[in-house]
Structure 1
Amino acid sequence: MFSESIPVGFLSKACDLLADTNSGMSGPNVVRAMNGYADQWDVRVPYPSYPFDAPNKRTALLESIQAFAPPQQFLIIEELCEHHSFPVGSSSKQERMKLKAELYSRFGDLRPDKEVRELDVPLIDDTRHWLHAHPTALAKLEEAKLKYDAGIFQRNLIDDLRLGLELLLKSVLDNGKSLENQVQPIGARLKASGSSPQFTNMFTRLLDYYCKYQNEHVKHDDKLPEEEVEFIFEMTASFMKHIVRVTG
């Protein structure tokens, strides 16, 4: 029926976190949430009332989620990661955000259509096209886009962009240098490819500032405004697209 499914191992891991004895949803909240989804999609769940006849609430949540189709399971886990019953400052918040990021990274194709965020989508799609000959860099860009769509403005999204750009430069320049040490080599390559001195100087200065921004904010796990994340995303895509066009 569906070409892709969410493995029971991942579903079980998600339920262990979301219905954890100490920091997870309560049994009544599990029942109310799953009954809501059951009513929405006309699905029969195994535990429609509380207390339920199950070994524990984690098992009840898992078996309930398994009654739904994969795209519905995706949406359920996504929404339960931010369920209203989790208090502000909950000790499980970071783990829930990691779970959500993994959900998007591994099973993003199952995500029901939603309104996209205000990224320059044509630019991102164009960059994907140019990166087909560089699959490792493309994979990191795809992971970052999934996390952006999920609303996860965290360090790991920016790290994906940084690593994707670094992997691309290693590929086109055929070296193993870190991103910070690629500024001069890519400048020389742009110059050799016919770029004007003014453009080459601007490009390398921007790349140098990009590295400094990453080191100052991201490596210290700073909380970044959404508009800055959007700008860095689009800047990374612009870097990638131009590098491939000029050096490919």
Structure 2
Amino acid sequence: MIPQLFINHTSNVLGETHEGLSGAKIVEYCSAYAIDFDVDIPHPTYPFSTDLPNKRTALRENLSAFSPEQQYIIIKNLCDLPQFSENKSVKDLKIKLITRYDELDETGEKISEPLIESTKHWLSDYPESLKLFDEALTKFNADMFQRNTLDDLRLSLEVLLKNLLGNDKSLENQLGPVGTYVKENGGSKELVNMFVKLLDYFSKYHNTFIKHNDSVVEAEVEIMFEMTSSFMKFLIRIG
């Protein structure tokens, strides 16, 4: 269940006076979902009645008419509208939604969406790496180009490391600098050793199965995606 408090917050963010949805768009989107889900909404027309205080109230009351699962889909899709692509408040709203209520997601996506969205959030200051990460995600979700997916992931991590460590080394040559970076940012000796070893195996995996043999095990793509996401999120957060 999505608490009413979160629905209220959602309506305030998505219906914000200057950068949020207009009253007409609120009616357009809510009415479309009402038809899709066969739900009656209290405000299906625009202009709104004179006793309605504002468009945020209309959005809140319309959203409240849907089931939690339907609310999850609607809020997530509204957050993904092109007009919100640079809106930090909306991006934060989406992260909260999928982190707290992802059990309502019935799409059956294979990768942990909270991890993906959180990683994209941390990559926002590294646009080149984020672009490669998004390209890999698009290919993965389309169930195509497994090798290219992993190539993009590897390069996304490599580009990020070059930015964080201030050098131009390839991934396999970053083990020493990465260890130093983790240690200098508060990592314990055990964590440094573990992280460097994992990154070493990660690099060797790509060299063996991707760069040389072109033989991708499809079932392994998901875990490589989540591992790369965890690597990048960790490295940015400790910096």
TM-score range for the pair, normalised by the shorter chain length? 0.5 to 0.7
Alignment of 1:69-108 (within 5 A): 69-84=67-82, 86=83, 89=86, 93-108=87-102
Q: Partner of 2:120: helix, strand, or coil? A: coil
Alignment of 1:109-124 (within 5 A): 109-117=103-111
Label 1:204 to 1:28 Cα distance change in 2 as closer, same or farther (>3 A): closer
Higher helix share goes to which structure? 2
Equivalent position to 1:184, from 189, 197, 206 = 189
Structure 2 Cα separation of the partners of residues 22 and 187 of structure 1: 47
Which residue matches 2:229? 233
Label 1:156 to 1:8 Cα distance change in 2 as closer, same or farther (>3 A): farther
1:19 aligns with 2:15: yes
1:232 maps to a residue whose letter is T
Structure 1 Cα separation of the partners of residues 92 and 119 of structure 2: 9
Which residue matches 2:41? 45
Which residue matches 1:153? 120
Equivalent position to 2:58, from 57, 60, 64 = 60
1:9 maps to a residue whose letter is L
Equivalent position to 1:10, from 3, 6, 10 = 6
> What number of residue pairs does the alignment pair up?
151
Contact 2:27–2:43 (CA under 8 A) maintained in structure 1: yes
Query: Deviations for 1:132-179, whole angstroms, at most 9, x for unmatched residues?
Result: xxxxxxxxxxxxx3324558612089xxxxxxxxxxxxxxxxxxxx96
1:68 maps to a residue whose letter is F
Contact 1:19–1:58 (CA under 8 A) maintained in structure 2: yes
Q: Partner of 2:18: helix, strand, or coil? A: coil
Instruction: Provide the identity percentage.
Output: 28
Equivalent position to 1:33, from 7, 29, 32 = 29
Contact 1:97–1:152 (CA under 8 A) maintained in structure 2: no
Label 1:45 to 1:98 Cα distance change in 2 as closer, same or farther (>3 A): same
Contact 1:18–1:25 (CA under 8 A) maintained in structure 2: yes
- TM-score computed with the length of structure 2 as normaliser: 0.53
Structure 1 segments, 4+ long, off by >4 Å, are: 149-152, 204-207, 228-231
Give the root-mean-square deviation of aligned CA atoms.
3.5
Structure 1 Cα separation of the partners of residues 195 and 44 of structure 2: 65
